[in-house]
Structure 1
Amino acid sequence: MTGRDYRGMSAAERLADRRERLITAAYTLFAHPGFHATTIEKLCTTARISNRAFYECFSSREDLMRAVYDRCVEETLTSVNQAIDKAPPTLDERIVAGIAEYVRFVTKDVRRARVMHLEVRRAGSVLTAARQHTVKAFSEIIEGVVQDVPHRLPLETHLLSLGLIGAITELLIEWVLANPAPPTDKVIDAAVHIFRCAFGV
């Protein structure tokens, strides 16, 4: 026995394939019609797997939501960090680069924006730890950008970073829910203004 059978894939490869198909299906369905409107049956039909196979990959819809959300966050963190690294070393230019990339990357695909800023909240308290982990990751980016500010900031840096994350989150929720959505450039301008005021740039 080689451990390979159906379509030349091993059991581990088949499991990984099913898991990936579920994540792909959930990325679209959790964004629209939304987390609560998406049943496990619908996810399985879209992913072309059995209901039993779902539970071989994920323990629940919330577990699948966590996987989708984590991937969205990981991709966004990578993109934002790269933009900041490429920016000129001044505080203002690094702020602009990071915010502009965050807003543009998240809004480039409305599914990502809805998952990260709307549906993860609708998934309930089971996703609270995931959201807190994300806030921590983005606050560390902000704190890293401003750590070399030559003058004392008006507030403790970590708390200030948390407040700024809340502000940009609300701007993106507005982008998701408003009809029509505000232009992304306006969202970027508003966020940059808030950050500049906070850091005295």
Structure 2
Amino acid sequence: MAAAVELLDAHGVDGLTMRRLADGLGSGVMSLYWHVDNKENVFDLALDSVLEYRGPQTAQQAQDWRAEAVHMLEDWRASMLRHPWSASLLPRRALGPNILSRLEVLSKTLSRAGVADADLNVAIWSLWNYVMGATVTRASFDLSDEDRAAAQQRLTSLSERYPTIERSRLLLDNDWDGAFRQGLGFLLDGLSPR
């Protein structure tokens, strides 16, 4: 799986072929089929391998449901940003043990926080969608500082039409991690017991 992850990191989903994987391992293509059924199985295993979660660093953090949720969700996003191909694969792959373990941790954490069983799935999917959306947006938003400044300047010239986003200087905001954490806080505020 390490060789598959390395190939995916270097060449993306379309760049992983069984031939390229076999060459990287110094073996024949047919030898791979002793270990995996097909390329789809390689995708499943590679994806799950990059989503492993080891839990919070301190026991105190594990006692604070919010800190535990933030740690796990930030770790999930960071894992996918280290391996940008993972965000595109996750919605269409089998859920392996590592992502299922993350979802179990999140479910237990939210239950411990007082989220009712009837609301748990909505809470999980809302956080899943937030992490996935923030990850895909960050991974694909690749404008240089000059391009962002030019876009903001164009927006300034259109400020009568778009006054609020021009005033907030939306296109110059490059604090991806801070925005993720603050947005996550907004979501968790909505899940907090009343």
TM-score (norm 1): 0.65
The aligned counterpart of 1:114 is 85
Q: Does 2:112 align with 1:148?
A: yes
Q: 1:88 to 1:35 in 2, by over 3 A?
A: closer
Map of 1:48-87 to 2, 5 A cutoff?
Answer: 48-73=26-51, 75=52, 77-78=53-54, 81-83=55-57, 85-87=59-61
Q: Aligned residue for 2:157?
A: none
1:160 correspondence with 2:120? no
Question: Displacement of 1:55 after TM fit?
Answer: 1.5
* Residue number in structure 1 paired with 2:134: 171
Show the counterpart of 1:139.
103
Which residue identity lines up with residue 169 of structure 1 in the other structure?
A: M
Q: Which 5+ residue runs of structure 2 have no aligned equivalent?
A: 144-173
Q: Given residue 26 of structure 1, which amino acid in structure 2 is its aligned partner?
A: A
Which of 130, 133, 156 is the aligned partner of 2:95? 130
Structure 1 residue ranges without an equivalent (≥5): 1-22
The C-alpha deviation readout for 1:137-172, integer Å capped at 9, x for no partner, is 33322221132336x669612322222212111111
Q: Aligned residue for 2:15?
A: 37
**For 1:90 and 1:137, how far apart are their aligned partners in 2?**
19
Decide whether aligned partners of structure 1 residues 58 and 182 sit closer, same or farther in structure 2, where only a CA change above 3 A counts.
farther
Shift of 1:100: 3.3
Residue 195 of structure 1 aligns to which amino acid in structure 2?
L
Q: Which residue of 2 aligns with 1:191?
A: 184
The one-letter amino acid paired with 2:25 is: A
Give, in whole Å, the separation in 2 of the partners of 1:28 and 1:192.
Answer: 33
Distance 1:96 1:177, change over 3 A: same
SS of equivalent to 2:76: helix
Deviation at 1:63, TM superposition (A): 1.1
Change (3 A) 1:194 1:92: same
Secondary structure in structure 2 of the residue aligned to 1:119? helix
Contact 1:171 1:187 in 2 (8 A): yes
Letter in 1 for 2:40: E
Identity of aligned residues (%): 9
Q: Deviations over 1:44-87 (max 9, x none)?
A: 112211112122222211111111112122x2x22xx2347441
Measure the CA separation in 2 of the matches of 1:119 and 1:105: 13
Cα 1:168–1:161 change in 2 (3 A) is same
1:93 and 2:93 correspond = no
Residues 1:114 and 1:189: Cα distance change in structure 2 (over 3 Å): farther
> How far apart are residue 188 of structure 1 and its match?
2.5
